[in-house]
């Protein structure tokens, strides 16, 4: 046993010396797994300690969804006995300690590839994720592209107008958008779409792309215009303020003063030097 441990220790030490980058990535990946495991364990424990009748209400909703002919009676919760509730808890594993539930959930997710079912639609969670994944990826990619391009353009422009009335107004608007609750912003946009009728609140183009590709693209863009606007307004404030602050920090560095003293054009100072160093904080964030 000691020889095996000695051999593994030597191999690990050799790997760390010969492949430092791979060792760093593997170490971060291992620490990420450990942190996620601890966080999941803590979440299950906090759910067990939560006050109220969360588990009982969940079981009653499950029983009601399996029942037929329940039409909104005020005392419908009294239709089920304690024995029925206990049996349903045992079926779902809710009568076990939280650590047993957590281990069962890990086995169900990583071994059986089953995320459970939705309490509302009764559809498998994995199916619901798959049906929405493509649209979410497209929406986030378009939003990321718009945020990156426009926030960099505005941040660089207003960093050259520091102290002016325009800069103060832009800073106030960016701070307002950054501090505005994102959920409230989405609700207001939905109300605007419902009242004005200019944008669809939900749904999807009503015909397949193969039928008319150009019309499908325009209809799809019309459908995602509202959530795209919400994602853009929710992120432009903080991103623009970060780019502006980073640009101002770079413009105050000694190497910028040296470049200006050498007679380098201001546009080259901005885009070839200060702008390049502004990319690092944005990429890492």
Q: 66-91, pLDDT tens digit by residue? A: 565 554 444 454 455 667 667 767 77
For the chain, the domain total comes to 2
275 and 153 within one domain: yes
Domain boundary among 124, 141, 162: 124
pLDDT lower than 50: segments of the chain: 53, 71-75, 77-78
- The first and second tokens of residue 183, run together, are 């959920």
154 and 110 within one domain: no
pLDDT at 40: 92
141 and 104 within one domain: no
- The first and second tokens of residue 80, run together, are 């089920």
119 and 175 within one domain: no
> Which residue shows structure tokens 């006050």?
51
114 and 196 within one domain: no
Alpha carbon distance 222, 228 (integer Å): 10
Give the CA distances from residue 184 to residues 177, 181, 239, in Å, rounded to whole numbers and listed in that order. Answer: 12, 5, 20
pLDDT at 37: 94
Adjacent-strand bridge partners of 117: 124
CB within 8 A of 236, min separation 6: which ones?
A: 147, 150, 151, 154, 174, 177
112 and 243 within one domain: no
For the whole model, what pTM was predicted? 0.66
pLDDT at 36: 94
Q: Assign residue 72 a region (left: φ > 0; alpha: ψ between -120 and 50; beta: otherwise).
A: left
Burial annotation 79-88 (CB, 10 A radius, 16+ → b, else e): ebeeeebeeb
211 and 104 within one domain: no
224 within 8 A of 142, measured Cβ to Cβ: yes
pLDDT at 32: 94
pLDDT at 75: 45
154 and 264 within one domain: yes
pLDDT at 78: 46
- Environment class of 126 (CB within 10 Å of its CB; exposed 0-12, middle 13-18, buried 19+): middle
134 and 19 within one domain: no
88 and 146 within one domain: no
The DSSP 8-state label assigned to residue 117 in this structure reads B
193 within 8 A of 201, measured Cβ to Cβ: yes
Range of the domain at 85: 2-67+76-124
pLDDT at 17: 80
275 and 214 within one domain: yes
Residue 78 has, within 13 A of its CA and on its CB side, a CA count of 3
């Amino acid at each position: 046993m000691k020889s095996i441990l000695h051999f593994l220790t030597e191999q690990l030490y050799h790997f760390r010396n010969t492949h430092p980058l791979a060792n760093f990535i593997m170490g971060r990946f291992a620490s990420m797994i450990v942190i996620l495991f601890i966080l999941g364990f803590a979440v299950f424990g906090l759910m067990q300690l939560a006050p109220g009748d969360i588990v009982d209400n969940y079981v009653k909703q499950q029983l009601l969804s399996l029942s037929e002919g329940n039409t909104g009676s005020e005392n419908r919760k009294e239709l089920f006995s304690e024995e029925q509730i206990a049996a349903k808890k045992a079926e779902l594993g809710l009568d076990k300690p939280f650590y047993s539930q957590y281990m069962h959930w890990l086995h169900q997710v990583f071994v059986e590839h089953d995320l459970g079912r939705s309490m509302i639609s009764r559809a498998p969670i994995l199916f619901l994720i798959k049906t929405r994944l493509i649209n979410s990826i497209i929406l986030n990619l378009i939003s990321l592209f718009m945020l990156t391009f426009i926030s960099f353009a505005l941040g660089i422009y207003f960093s050259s107008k520091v102290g002016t009335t325009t800069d103060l107004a832009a800073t106030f608007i960016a701070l307002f958008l950054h501090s505005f609750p994102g959920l409230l912003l989405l609700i207001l946009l939905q109300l605007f779409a419902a009242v004005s009728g200019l944008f669809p609140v939900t749904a999807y183009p009503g015909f397949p792309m193969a039928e008319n590709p150009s019309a499908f693209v325009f209809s799809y863009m019309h459908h995602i215009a509202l959530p795209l606007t919400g994602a853009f307004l929710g992120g432009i404030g903080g991103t623009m303020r970060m780019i502006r602050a980073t640009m101002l920090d770079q413009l105050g560095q000694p190497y910028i003063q040296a470049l200006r003293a050498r007679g380098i054009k201001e546009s080259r100072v901005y885009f070839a030097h200060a702008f390049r160093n502004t990319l690092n904080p944005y990429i890492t964030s």
